Structure 1
């Protein structure tokens, strides 16, 4: 069981399903036991707390009744009776409040600012409302509620300081306003808000905020602000330089480049050369690093890209292509880039969606960015086609490519990456200057602490590096052997075993033969079970977590429980790399393992287990995507995207209809939440194209999902479905049938086919209620509410949907319901409530990373602020919307934000700024085929006074 106390009391079972705890007294009993953290609570204390000094007759029996009711919900063994009282059995990390505190502590201990901010965000995302909301009025809970609220506010303050350092002052200036108003005497929070206001150009507001603090402290406590707040006030008055954005903010450049786990040795000259080609003032826009597998192209490319990151304000992005099949098209590569860059998939508003290369080029046409395409040797032709399109269309787009061969297109600068320099002499000083030796010694010292280069081992180390031709991967593979062998023994072993002609692969260049020989030798040193795990891991396209490794690598002869130990041994031998909670293979090791997998005839069986593993992973995550684990499951599926695509590719290629259909059915809701409608459409079509008559229910479900997706991605008019045409006919599962009717019905209403859509939505509502599917009922209600206008019934539907989504713990659902309630408040003439609800929705959308929702809400809030005469606040909101829209190529958001900025500029009599923003909106509307945006921009332009 897992327990949630950061909001209404909640209990979830091992599968993530919410467990209902009936009756207020039983919930209060559970809350009391949770407050004591698994410690014993005397029966007398429980009676006093539950009945607040007015216990019923036979209070001991009454308490025992409540204990029995709680045990029926949680399991008898979970509530234990001891001489000291009753206690709840709690395992580690089963209470969200404890997890919150652990994440906060981890954040404070982490050195990297961006990671610290993410951990603080993860901690705050656990809060679903006021702590222990069910028992907030109970005396026994007040102390714990106060403690948790204080911890939450402290984390909010910690997070605000991190975000200020990362340059997020504009967003904070707006977001902290409400929080400061609710906690006006918290000086640290007030100071963070003052800094955010000052850096946002609102010096006057920052000074007024200090005056509010001074007056309230004097009136309520009779004290003055503390020294730190007074010093900040003085600094703002003087406009001290130290209040400017810290230089560390440059590290927040948008990028997904991984942090290096080890130092890069012997490549400083090459990094400098690549930096010169891609640096400021250079004309080169495509650099390709070539070289044999294992020579370190990727490490070099990442190091060089990191050094030029400041030149690219729109980001430096690593796009891994090793997981794509050799038959992939330029569109497949473009789709991988679109996903990596986090571009909004605005399928309903963007043209030419089947031309993803064109879509990508249009989306990044005005950006200055660097894309690192890694491991392209099996995709040279499609990568060359995509690179040509990007370089032709995107004036400030730059590409850095790693491949075993050049792309061969105009403008390409090719930089061969050689092995590391070998020692020329045998004396320790000369040997130690060799980059190959330096790499070997560093890795050897990490594997065998205490190892160092000296006079006694210099000759042997030199021989080892020469034997391995200075190839970094080979050096890293052999270094851990010094745990059991001396340098002389290792050199002798290498000389006598792997480099003999008969173990070299014929037809390969000499240094490639060396690497092959090194891999052969490392392979022979493995046990049979270690070999089994290593070759089976190669089916993963993007590494894997331990549970997936266990599922794919185990069989009747190799139990799953042994895989973790075998993986650990492979990590020790440098054949597997562990990064955080994932295990990865270097490209050369993966290619070698794939050959070994084919040699033993296991390809079909391992691929089948791989597909089954990821189908089951997707199905488990899909079950939890509509509850309190929504954010975690979104992040899980984000991390496994490449493997999930590979699983689908394998299922489709091998015509495994059931696996392909189950997978796309499980992933469609995830794709919808992430806005990846194009990917959903392509995947559903591919799965439905598989042959065979198997899995008829899965095929019916996939067709219904595809209908709903196509309604949302089609820009052409779609003929309405006949009222009696049920897209879910034949589906036996009543819950799935009702949810699919809602999904298709919502798509129809979005296309303007209100009669057919409403019919399906009402049918969905009836079906969900009959099946007792509270989530499905809420989804249908909120969709119906959005089409019922100002009718009281629409308001009631939205409120009931909000309650049901809240009960389910579904943040997306709460967002949808909150937006419906906000629109209803707006129609009812209650702008204050509408704004409050939209701000609540904004926080949820940001938490889940639903950027289209974030942008649209920011624009709405901007309109509201402008209507209320708050031009400065409106400008900040529009600027946030414009920044987010530009980053994610959401053209409708860019247009709306530019029009809003133009209107705000006009109202403050800044004619030039108004014309600039409105002309940009007009140009963007025309280039992206948004006639409504063009009309609105032209109307605003006519209102701008002429000089």
Structure 2
């Protein structure tokens, strides 16, 4: 539509000397603004996890075939290729064209990491983790982001495109130097004004487009620079035109960005006048002599081209263009109207002015619609903003605008607009960070605390715990007055993150509880209490958590806070599960699911769904469990909550294990494992458990043992004197059963004994019964079927005392063990009855008799 409009405008001007009428002008503006009629989407396909974020090319890449071909060759033989050259020469274009061309060679994707807006603070690995949607791992604060990124990429075959590295060359070089040895399937294509200077680096200089020193029209028309200018200006290669175009290209040194900017002036000036203006130093190149003497010549030329385009703008156009530069990563039309109006520019004029700047290629229209400045244009306009004396005031307005956006979004992240507002905040992440930096830098304590506190829930949903932690810390460090409730809210969530990320443990609980009690607003206090309780689940004592949740639930019910009520119930299910209180678990899970569904909070529905799936699985209704998991999977994929996707895939794998469909279980579990490993998630454990169980029960003992050994090593690494990972007994029991299948009763007994001790410490009668059953199998193999029969009697008594029945697959396993012991022991029934009188601890002691 935009190309059609431009063509019509040229014809009206060239043939009739007319401008487009008001109807056409309004249509043009509506296209740029993204009218609802233009934006109406077709039904979206089911979302899947993306394997690339490369932008689609919008124009033909001219004159770079040789560059792309050579860079492809370098990537085929090396793992690090750096494109170097002056600003505006087209390094990014060559990198993106190459990445598109080789994408099929990288099964794990080709990913663009644009470092333009990164200011060098923090760790560049965080930027890459964000692009790859790899969330933080709860309880893993001590692992550096670089190490976590390397671990997530260790099995990937992918290409990472690092763009605009020159202003942060040292940290990017350090990151790249660490990633390449750790991830053998990784290749890196960097674009920078200087090389990374790493071993094995292949450097390719992207040079300006060639303009032959000849007057031959045929040779000139085939030269890359002339071809580019002709294409962008929409000109035919007539001999007289080509000669003037060649002069323009030479004076602009063949820099593609300069050529594209100059081409926009052809409709107004014509090529001959354009070339004539470029010949007059005071009219154009006089600016070159005022640039920094130590800057590359082509950088000065590019600045001059932009400045020349600037001189052709009206006052209002200049005002809008320089004010757009306050944004990071672009902005919506609403933001442009809010921040670019004033001092001679009315809000109603902004759309038309932005449309004109788009026509001049000074502003780029992106999907959304959003508007952004090219990198060099943005840098130029920042200088103009300072010269106009507007920078400080505009940064304050910018920060206030995005604070208001965040506070508008926060309640909508807990309701039916959740997906829309997640995506909207995703698009504005750079602007929100810039707003927080402004508040912190200006000493605006209240605004900094409000923004950081408001965004914490968004960061939590996206798994960006490190960013939330750092932002809250920065806001809390700002000196100055702020309402006590605002500061207390930020302090409480910051304390909860310390618990969640493992930076603090049980010793901080009393202090954390004081922080949360200081939150004055009852709704905010309930949410903080819920977050603290959920963060304490992995190590906190049940009594403290239960009291915290009881207080939160009472406040939520008293104030009518239905979201708070649902959130508290979703965490209370964890306590019910730990205590093996099935009725309480089912009540809380179902009530929480109902409340979240009524509120339209799909994230909340997912949390409750996990426990409803578990309940269906324990009841042996594997079809219902699988159906719930598939329903949840669709929601998680739609919201882009990849940690939940992993968990739900793992649930599907587990239900397949329990249903005896071992092939499906291994396929689903492996998919979950790959996704979890890529995301750096703790969910890899659950996925691997399902794969290991499926492998053992399917008869592949070697694969099962490999997975179980990894799980055991992982659990050992997380074990402390005070606590063990809750999945440790399950892994030990499986290793014991596997050892028995291999005919190794001694090893089997050792694993089951340790599993029994862990279950006893956890208070899990069901787990102790299962460990005793495993001991019985090992004892029968060891020639002691009489002791085994008595243990099975204790197993039956212990199992009946638990609320949770065994799953059908566990029941089948127990029946198999019982049949084997019965065959080996003639007095089985009598010994079984004797064992039924034993407590679990007495049965374990019996198994230890005769132990070497």
Give the TM-score category using the shorter length. 0.7 to 0.9
The equivalent of 2:450 in structure 1 is 662
Measure how far apart 1:848 and its partner are.
1.8
Measure how far apart 1:573 and its partner are.
0.5
Quick check: 1:258 aligned with 2:55?
Answer: yes
Conserved in 1, the CA contact under 8 Å of 2:653 and 2:691?
A: no
Measure how far apart 1:740 and its partner are.
1.8
RMSD: 2.8
Report the CA distance shift for 1:730/1:874 in structure 2 as closer, same or farther (over 3 A). closer
Report the CA distance shift for 1:928/1:796 in structure 2 as closer, same or farther (over 3 A). closer
Quick check: 1:310 aligned with 2:104?
Answer: yes
Normalising by structure 2, report the TM-score: 0.76
Unaligned segments of structure 1, at least 5 residues: 1-97, 108-118, 123-162, 164-251, 446-450
The equivalent of 1:673 in structure 2 is 461
1:400 equivalent among 182, 189, 194:
189
Give the secondary-structure state (helix, strand or coil) at the position aligned to 1:541. Answer: coil
Conserved in 2, the CA contact under 8 Å of 1:257 and 1:318?
A: yes
Cα distance between partner residues in 2 of 1:615 and 1:846: 28
Aligned pairs (5 A) from 1:229-268: 254-268=51-65
The equivalent of 1:886 in structure 2 is 677
1:505 equivalent among 276, 284, 291:
291
Conserved in 2, the CA contact under 8 Å of 1:440 and 1:479?
A: yes
2:121 equivalent among 328, 335, 343:
328
Conserved in 1, the CA contact under 8 Å of 2:439 and 2:447?
A: yes
Aligned pairs (5 A) from 1:812-827: 812-827=603-618
The equivalent of 1:70 in structure 2 is none
The equivalent of 2:175 in structure 1 is 386
Measure how far apart 1:520 and its partner are.
1.4
Cα distance between partner residues in 1 of 2:406 and 2:429: 10
Q: Which moved more, 1:798-807 or 1:257-266?
A: 798-807
Cα distance between partner residues in 2 of 1:502 and 1:420: 20
Deviation track 1:637-693 (CA, whole Å, cap 9, x = no partner) reads 112222222222332233322232111111111111111112211211111111112
Normalising by structure 1, report the TM-score: 0.69
Aligned pairs (5 A) from 1:98-137: 103=41, 106=42, 119-121=44-46
Conserved in 2, the CA contact under 8 Å of 1:352 and 1:359?
A: no
Give the secondary-structure state (helix, strand or coil) at the position aligned to 2:231. Answer: helix
Measure how far apart 1:908 and its partner are.
2.9
Quick check: 1:570 aligned with 2:353?
Answer: no
Cα distance between partner residues in 1 of 2:339 and 2:464: 28
Measure how far apart 1:310 and its partner are.
2.5
The equivalent of 2:691 in structure 1 is 901
Deviation track 1:694-744 (CA, whole Å, cap 9, x = no partner) reads 343321110111122222111763236449954334444322222222222
Cα distance between partner residues in 1 of 2:474 and 2:733: 40
Give the secondary-structure state (helix, strand or coil) at the position aligned to 2:365. Answer: strand
Quick check: 1:593 aligned with 2:381?
Answer: yes
Quick check: 1:359 aligned with 2:148?
Answer: yes
Quick check: 1:737 aligned with 2:525?
Answer: yes
Conserved in 1, the CA contact under 8 Å of 2:288 and 2:304?
A: no
Cα distance between partner residues in 2 of 1:300 and 1:501: 29
Cα distance between partner residues in 2 of 1:297 and 1:412: 17
Cα distance between partner residues in 1 of 2:737 and 2:152: 25
Deviation track 1:288-335 (CA, whole Å, cap 9, x = no partner) reads 21221111111111111222223322221111111111x424x2x110
Cα distance between partner residues in 2 of 1:715 and 1:944: 42
Measure how far apart 1:264 and its partner are.
0.9
Conserved in 2, the CA contact under 8 Å of 1:775 and 1:808?
A: yes
Conserved in 1, the CA contact under 8 Å of 2:52 and 2:109?
A: yes
Deviation track 1:197-240 (CA, whole Å, cap 9, x = no partner) reads xxxxxxxxxxxxxxxxxxxxxxxxxxxxxxxxxxxxxxxxxxxx
Report the CA distance shift for 1:471/1:102 in structure 2 as closer, same or farther (over 3 A). closer
Cα distance between partner residues in 2 of 1:273 and 1:864: 51
Report the CA distance shift for 1:874/1:502 in structure 2 as closer, same or farther (over 3 A). closer
Cα distance between partner residues in 1 of 2:420 and 2:303: 41
2:318 equivalent among 531, 546, 552:
531
> 1 or 2 for the larger relative contact order (CA 8 Å, sep ≥6)?
2
Cα distance between partner residues in 1 of 2:567 and 2:302: 57
Quick check: 1:300 aligned with 2:300?
Answer: no
Conserved in 1, the CA contact under 8 Å of 2:141 and 2:501?
A: no
Report the CA distance shift for 1:388/1:722 in structure 2 as closer, same or farther (over 3 A). closer
Conserved in 2, the CA contact under 8 Å of 1:721 and 1:756?
A: no
The equivalent of 2:247 in structure 1 is 463
Cα distance between partner residues in 1 of 2:569 and 2:183: 45
Deviation track 1:574-625 (CA, whole Å, cap 9, x = no partner) reads 1111121121211111111111112222221121112112111111111200
Conserved in 2, the CA contact under 8 Å of 1:465 and 1:475?
A: yes
Conserved in 1, the CA contact under 8 Å of 2:606 and 2:632?
A: yes
Measure how far apart 1:256 and its partner are.
0.8
The equivalent of 1:418 in structure 2 is 207
The equivalent of 1:134 in structure 2 is none
| Greater Rg by CA | 2
Conserved in 2, the CA contact under 8 Å of 1:626 and 1:808?
A: yes
Cα distance between partner residues in 2 of 1:531 and 1:501: 18
Deviation track 1:500-553 (CA, whole Å, cap 9, x = no partner) reads 366652413332222122111111111111111211222222112212222232
2:335 equivalent among 545, 548, 555:
548
Report the CA distance shift for 1:913/1:765 in structure 2 as closer, same or farther (over 3 A). closer
Cα distance between partner residues in 2 of 1:759 and 1:557: 60
Quick check: 1:370 aligned with 2:159?
Answer: yes
Deviation track 1:63-119 (CA, whole Å, cap 9, x = no partner) reads xxxxxxxxxxxxxxxxxxxxxxxxxxxxxxxxxxx99x953xx35xxxxxxxxxxx2
* Aligned length, in residue pairs: 694
Conserved in 1, the CA contact under 8 Å of 2:622 and 2:658?
A: no
Cα distance between partner residues in 1 of 2:582 and 2:713: 39
Measure how far apart 1:469 and its partner are.
0.9
Cα distance between partner residues in 1 of 2:656 and 2:151: 32
Conserved in 2, the CA contact under 8 Å of 1:420 and 1:472?
A: yes
Cα distance between partner residues in 2 of 1:477 and 1:312: 35
Report the CA distance shift for 1:465/1:907 in structure 2 as closer, same or farther (over 3 A). same
Deviation track 1:804-850 (CA, whole Å, cap 9, x = no partner) reads 21111111111122223333444556554444333333332222222
Give the secondary-structure state (helix, strand or coil) at the position aligned to 1:422. Answer: coil
Measure how far apart 1:454 and its partner are.
0.6
The equivalent of 1:484 in structure 2 is 268
Measure how far apart 1:759 and its partner are.
1.7
Cα distance between partner residues in 1 of 2:161 and 2:738: 41
Conserved in 1, the CA contact under 8 Å of 2:446 and 2:481?
A: no
The equivalent of 2:820 in structure 1 is none
Conserved in 2, the CA contact under 8 Å of 1:275 and 1:304?
A: yes
Measure how far apart 1:365 and its partner are.
2.3
Cα distance between partner residues in 1 of 2:568 and 2:248: 69
Give the secondary-structure state (helix, strand or coil) at the position aligned to 1:846. Answer: helix
Cα distance between partner residues in 2 of 1:715 and 1:840: 35
Report the CA distance shift for 1:928/1:266 in structure 2 as closer, same or farther (over 3 A). farther
Unaligned segments of structure 2, at least 5 residues: 1-35, 745-852
The equivalent of 1:346 in structure 2 is 137
Report the CA distance shift for 1:526/1:865 in structure 2 as closer, same or farther (over 3 A). same
Aligned pairs (5 A) from 1:128-207: none
The equivalent of 1:746 in structure 2 is 534
Cα distance between partner residues in 2 of 1:749 and 1:257: 40
Measure how far apart 1:571 and its partner are.
0.8
Cα distance between partner residues in 2 of 1:455 and 1:851: 58
Report the CA distance shift for 1:640/1:862 in structure 2 as closer, same or farther (over 3 A). same
The equivalent of 2:785 in structure 1 is none
Conserved in 2, the CA contact under 8 Å of 1:323 and 1:542?
A: yes
Q: Which moved more, 1:605-614 or 1:507-516?
A: 507-516
Cα distance between partner residues in 2 of 1:358 and 1:558: 50
Report the CA distance shift for 1:699/1:293 in structure 2 as closer, same or farther (over 3 A). same
Give the secondary-structure state (helix, strand or coil) at the position aligned to 2:159. Answer: strand
Measure how far apart 1:461 and its partner are.
0.9
Quick check: 1:864 aligned with 2:655?
Answer: yes
